[in-house]
Amino acid sequence: MWFVAFLLQDWNGKSLFLSRESWHTEPEFITDASGSLGYGGVFGKNWFSFRWKNEELNWSIAVKELYAVVVACQLWGSWWKGLRVVVRCDNQSMVAAINKGYSKDMIISDLLRVLIYYALAGNFSISAKHIPGKKNRCLDLLSRLQVITFLQENEDANKVGDKVMENPLEVCRERFGSY
């Protein structure tokens, strides 16, 4: 029912159908979260890295991994209009939750609502694929706040922001109420 409220309140009057070109093009981005330090994401040459706030440190690693995905969609979603995008994540439970669009965990469900909200608002679709942790080195550096090492290994990288534009969980509670 919350989708109906979203669509009526925020619908921009444009189609929610993806372009034909997106059937063959799936841009990918990668995210990662550290349990105690931070989280990050890379899309092409663009990247972000943020430190966890004190109140976020108590979240499960699954929540932290999904939070990083939602922040990436917040930052880059407007670039993906009409496309099918794929997120690579080293947490298999988050890959499953994103692909199903459902979780029994309350915080994960709230974050999935915001993820779907960003996808609808940006007119893109998202799916997830697992990436083995061993192949996730550049994201390990960002989630562990080793930005200098990351930049030494990725000289042409472009930072996209110094802060999260809006807290995804606050977006969920403001738009859809608490569930």
Q: Tens digits of per-residue pLDDT, 68-103?
A: 999 999 999 989 998 999 999 999 999 999 999 999
Confidence of residue 4 (pLDDT cuts 50, 70, 90): very low
pLDDT number for residue 22: 47
Task: Taking residues 143-162, report their average pLDDT.
Answer: 88
CB neighbourhood size of 63 (10 A): 21
DSSP for 75-113? HHGGGGTT-EEEEEES-HHHHHHHHHT--SSHHHHHHHH
In a domain, 51, yes or no: yes
CA–CA distance, 100 with 31 (Å, rounded to integer): 18
Give bridge partners of residue 46 from the DSSP assignment: 43, 158
What pLDDT score was predicted for residue 2?
A: 45
Residues facing 43 on adjacent strands: 46
Cα(32)–Cα(78) distance, rounded to whole angstroms?
A: 21
Residue 4 falls inside a structural domain: no
Range of weakest confidence among 37-41, 58-62, 105-109, 164-168: 164-168
> What CATH number does residue 65 fall under?
3.30.420.10
The pLDDT of 30-39, averaged and rounded, is 94
Q: Note whether residue 159 is domain-resident.
A: yes
Range of the domain at 89: 23-176
DSSP code, position 59:
S
Give me the pLDDT at residue 178, please.
54
Question: What whole-number distance in Å separates Cα of residue 162 and Cα of residue 106?
Answer: 28
* Mean pLDDT, the chain, integer: 83
Task: Tell me if 3 is assigned to some domain.
Answer: no
> For residues 32 and 89, what is the distance between their CA atoms, to the nearest angstrom?
6
Task: Give the C-alpha separation, 135 to 12, whole Å.
Answer: 39
153 domain-assigned? yes
Structural domains in the chain (count): 1
Asked whether residue 28 carries a pLDDT value surpassing 80, the answer given is yes
Within a domain: 1? no
Q: Is 8 inside any structural domain?
A: no
149 or 25, which is more confident? Answer: 149
Let me know: does 81 contact 125? Beta carbons within 8 Å.
Answer: no
**By percentage, how much of the chain surpasses pLDDT 90?**
54
Q: What is the pLDDT of residue 1?
A: 43
pLDDT bracket for residue 133 (50, 70, 90): confident
Condensed to tens digits (0 to 9), the pLDDT of residues 118-130 reads 898 889 999 999 9
Q: In whole angstroms, give the CA distance from residue 29 to residue 105.
A: 25
